[in-house]
Chain A
Amino acid sequence: MNFEVVKDLMADFSKLSSAPDHHDVRQQHHSPLPPQSKSKRIVTQNVTSEFFAAASALNTGQLVKDEYFTLFEAVGALEIMDPKMDSGFLTSGESVEHDYDVLRELLPEEVLGIMDQMLCFEMTWHMGHPLSQSLFTSAYIDQLLWPDPKTLEQARFERDKTSGPGNKLLHLVLRAYCLGLVKTCDFVRRRIMSEHYYEEEDFVVSLYHRKLLDDFELSDISTKIEDAMAFVTKEIESMDRPFRDALLNRLQLRKTLLSAVQSDGFLDRQRARLWERCLELLPMLSQTNKLGVPIENSFGIKIQRKLASSVPPRPIVRISFDEALSRLSGICQNGRDAYRILDSQAGTRLMTFVLTYQSRIPQPSIYIRCLLQSLVFSEMRVLGTISLKQLLFDDFEELVLPADILVDPANGDIEAPQDPRFQISKRMDAFVTKAADCFLNISRNLCLNRSRLRRILCRDAVEWENLQFDAEGIDTELRKYTKEEPIRELSAPNEEIWSFPLSSWAYYYKLRQMEWIVQMGFELDIYQVDELAGMYWYLQHLASTRLQHIERIRTFSAHRLKRIANPTLKQKTSFRRSFSFLDFATLEASATQSFAEGLSCLFSFLAHLGLIPAPYHPLPYGTPALRYSLRVQPFLSVSLPEVPSYPEFASRVSLHTLERDAGDPSHQTASTKIETNDQAVAILDFADQALKAARKDWEAISKTKAETARCVGCEDWWRASVKNIVRACITANIMIATSKKAMSKAASQDAREILKVEVAKSNELYHAWWMVPRILPK
């Protein structure tokens, strides 16, 4: 029978289904007795007969739907009496309650087994599965947390008796472990909730109306764990040494983990040592797992029914102990490593740290990503010490305003409005207010899951566009207070060129993020093979735009330095630092540009010979131009650099012919013959030149000092990543050589008969941003 009638009635029925006391009402809907609410203000009434009367007025298949009943509601709706959807459904003779005696006496091996099972479920929760499908399926955890304990003493297994059955291993040891575990979850959950994360895709915060011992102090729980450890240590008579050691190891881990995740004082570098201490405990945990005896029936899906939830029953998610251990080990290592960010100092180094840390594979788990966000910024301080204004002023100085009056902190002390410094300070503060969120968000966004990162970068491109526009206005206003003199070029002496420092700063970061959007597309396997030539062309276009922009910035800084008669040491240092940044940025942008150009030409060459599909070749639906339009959509809200039109793009990439546009679905034209295809040879030569240059640039980058490369704090990961790019670059050069050799050997053949091409997925590459194809002789 389907109660497929009216949404509101349905909602009432689903409420019934979440209260296990009322099953019989649903199972025997002829029963006239309405469930009696305990609250006096709610009067319940049995609507079964009205419901059936209303339902009988409709034909089967007829839908009564108001505009608020969306697909979301439809997907979330439950069908009562369907065992896959109705959590209260019982087969005949089945009991409502999970049948497990939490007060039974436990053997040491059983306690070990249960602890290790709980660790697995804790890790599945970290992976993003709800508590209802992980830890909350434990009868022990259920007993501790429900009914909600008002004191820590009430959080025990025998809820209604002062003393009952069970032994000390249960009441002292397992309980202390559970308390530590639950409190750890409390801290973890609170950390995640205080930062940017995405419900369900990253993490599920729902507690189903339970609490995670949040009212109780860490110190009290730690004391319980210590008491348990003291007990185990003394049990020489009743327990063999290996069991005692194994139990102590787990209790110690619980205690250390709890301290490592606690909120108070999380900015203390010493936390790294706690994570290290946890790591040291893992080998023994791993070795002693085999001593434990898992108690499968101490976990049960039926416990889900006691949780306040409107979703259908969902399966318990299990992972192996080895997997749990490797996840935990990852969390501990990443927790330890996250604190290295405090060595990075702010500015461009901070961004390099976050980018490098988060690009490692596998990406750190959600808890760690949120911890890193908190380290980057919390309580209005960056890295615990730096104000937003300091952060931005420092960055302005490094990029565009070395030793400039605009970033002189003394401006803020001037109180006379007629003083230009007062006016400068007012405007700079206003800009900092506008720019702070955007700038900080770059580092925070880098902590999101990679799919979100790309989409948020797409969304934020327009924010940076607006910021750049606002900055132009402020730059223009500031000129009269800084008495800036424009540059005039000899070729156009009447044309005044102004420095626009703040908008130059914004434009620089906008370009950087636009490059990341394209590169994240490679990493996430967003582009199809036929799009790669075009997307690498677009990447090189962005990188070369950035190169020109860096040159412009350098021109103005050099111009300004020249006009300072006797620069002080402080001024010299500031200029040196800025030029060092610009030099490195030039190298890095140039390396990106040449590698991207080389790959674009290489894919273009492969398309010309019919070895891969031609870019945006005609297909049954849509048009090539529309597909291009969809692909560049993230950039359409950006006016500078302007997105090339489709015809311009197609001609630049030299990939598309008008005949193909006309609707010939086949991209396998006569040009696949090598000897008739001079254009392909020319493109291959371009690829060759660009990739040789790229290799030189990337090798130069790999030799750069950490301070220059702004990778202080993350040097080892950064070097590993650059090394992989160099490898990718070398591979690309080899592919060029293979292609040239094959072409010279078989000049009159069809290229498809002598070469084959494989394009790997991003996770099979040396570096996910550089999709070097494998070109093999047949």
Chain B
Amino acid sequence: MSKATLDAPAELRYVQYHSSKEKTYLSAIRQIISDDLSEPYSIYVYRYFLYQWGDLCFMALDEDESLIGVVISKLEPHRGGPMRGYIAMLAVREGYRGKGIATQLVRKTLDVMIERDADEIALETEVTNTAAMKLYERLGFLRSKRLHRYYLNGNSAFRFMLLIKEKSAAYEYEDEAQPQLPIRPPST
């Protein structure tokens, strides 16, 4: 258990998302995430994740039920191979950072992914985002690749990976000749 987790404010509640909560929370979720982004995601991106993997989305709520942090993820076979979890978005409201809230949110989503038989879990962070990198490294993720100019602002990314199960082949590099366009959120 990391030190940061122990400092987390006791009054926060960590709640799994459900489509019944959409009216209450979707616009707050969009807001908290787009606060960190120069270019917004369309509503389709949120729907894409929440409709298909609502159970992998967790929200941190304070005593007034207002949204302090959120994690949005997915879980599906990766290129017909292993079951891959993917942490797509993670945001904590400014003023609440450095208290282990993000770590808690990530652990919640990781636990559900593992329960749902994930083989591996992946995500990207900007190479300059040391706080995020530390968070994932403390949990057991490794940097597996560097992605040149991955974000729209020209910044590069690290792909982080966590193996849950032993992996047999080196398929991970088969598609290296492809452009790295597909799963690219706008940058902060």
Contact = CB atoms under 8 A, between A and B. Distances in A.
Q: Are A and B interaction partners?
A: yes
A450 B148 CA distance: 8
B140 A620 contact: yes
A524 B146 contact: yes
Contacts of B141: 621-622
B10 interface: no
Interface size class on chain B is 35 or more
Given A620-B139, A620-B140, A129 B176 contact: no
Nearest to B120: A630
Given A456-B177, A622-B162, A634-B170, A77 B44 contact: yes
A85 B48 CA distance: 18
B146 A622 contact: no
Interface stretch (B34-42, B63-71, B94-102): B34-42
Looking at chain A's contact residues, the main secondary structure is: loop
B143 A526 contact: yes
A129 B1 CA distance: 43
Interface string A615-634: 00001111000110111011
A633 B152 CA distance: 29
A378 B141 CA distance: 43
A79 interface: yes
A169 to B, nearest CB: 35
A528 interface: yes
A561 to B, nearest CB: 40
B149 A633 contact: no
B15 interface: no
B78 interface: no
Nearest to A79: B42
Contact of B176 (A70, A314, A455): A455
B179 A200 contact: yes
B19 A61 contact: yes
Contacts of A65: 48, 51
Contacts of B127: 525
Contacts of B147: 201, 451
Contacts of A619: 138-140
A451 B44 contact: no
Nearest to B172: A633
Contacts of B143: 525-528
Nearest to B103: A620
B176 A459 contact: yes
B47 interface: yes
Contacts of A450: 146, 148
A341 to B, nearest CB: 23
Most buried by A among B42, B147, B150, B180: B42
Given A201-B148, A458-B173, A621 B40 contact: no
Contacts of A74: 42, 44-45, 47-48
A71 B177 CA distance: 20
Interface string B17-29: 0010011001000
Nearest to A10: B44
A128 interface: yes
Contacts of A163: none
A75 B174 contact: no
Given A75-B184, A312-B39, A626-B163, A459 B154 contact: no
B170 A200 contact: no
Contact of A4 (B23, B44, B146): B44
B145 interface: yes
A128 B148 CA distance: 11
A636 interface: yes
A128 B143 CA distance: 25
B7 interface: no
Contact of B40 (A60, A84, A620): A84
A531 B167 CA distance: 20
Nearest to B163: A626
Contacts of B80: none
A620 B110 CA distance: 11
A661 B48 CA distance: 40
Contacts of B140: 619-622, 627
Nearest to A313: B39
A189 to B, nearest CB: 17
Interface in A62-114: 63, 65, 69-75, 77-79, 82, 84-85
A61 B19 CA distance: 8
Interface in A600-643: 619-622, 626-627, 629-631, 633-637
Contacts of A198: 148, 179-180
A631 B149 CA distance: 23
Contacts of B138: 619-620
A198 B177 CA distance: 8
A451 B43 contact: no
A634 B144 CA distance: 10
Interface in A172-216: 198-202
Contact of B167 (A454, A459, A629): A629
B182 A72 contact: yes
Contacts of B45: 71, 74-75, 77
A637 B170 contact: yes
A452 interface: yes
B185 interface: yes
B122 to A, nearest CB: 11
Most buried by B among A60, A61, A621, A631: A621
Interface in A264-300: none
Interface string B87-129: 0000000000000000000010010001000000000000100
Contacts of A626: 163-166
A633 B166 CA distance: 11
A77 to B, nearest CB: 4
A74 B26 CA distance: 16
B107 A620 contact: yes
B39 A633 contact: no
A449 interface: yes
Contacts of B1: 620
Nearest to B76: A71
A407 to B, nearest CB: 32
Contact of B183 (A71, A129, A199): A71
B156 to A, nearest CB: 7
A454 B146 contact: yes
B121 to A, nearest CB: 8
A526 B143 CA distance: 6
A180 B26 CA distance: 52
Contact of B185 (A60, A75, A129, A461): A75
Given A79-B43, A198-B179, A314-B39, A451 B142 contact: no
Q: Which 3 residue pairs of A and B lie closest in terms of their CB atoms, listed nearest first?
A: A619-B140, A621-B140, A451-B148
30 contacts: A2-B43, A4-B47, A63-B47, A72-B182, A73-B44, A74-B45, A79-B42, A199-B179, A202-B149, A449-B148, A451-B145, A452-B148, A456-B176, A458-B173, A459-B173, A459-B177, A462-B170, A531-B142, A620-B2, A620-B107, A622-B163, A626-B164, A627-B142, A629-B163, A630-B161, A630-B163, A631-B142, A633-B167, A633-B170, A636-B169
Interface of A: 2, 4, 60-61, 63, 65, 69-75, 77-79, 82, 84-85, 127-129, 198-202, 312, 314, 449-452, 454-456, 458-459, 461-462, 524-528, 531, 619-622, 626-627, 629-631, 633-637
Given A201-B147, A634-B170, 20 more contacts: A4-B47, A60-B22, A60-B23, A61-B47, A65-B51, A72-B183, A77-B44, A201-B179, A201-B180, A202-B149, A449-B148, A451-B156, A459-B174, A620-B2, A621-B110, A621-B114, A621-B162, A629-B163, A633-B167, A635-B170
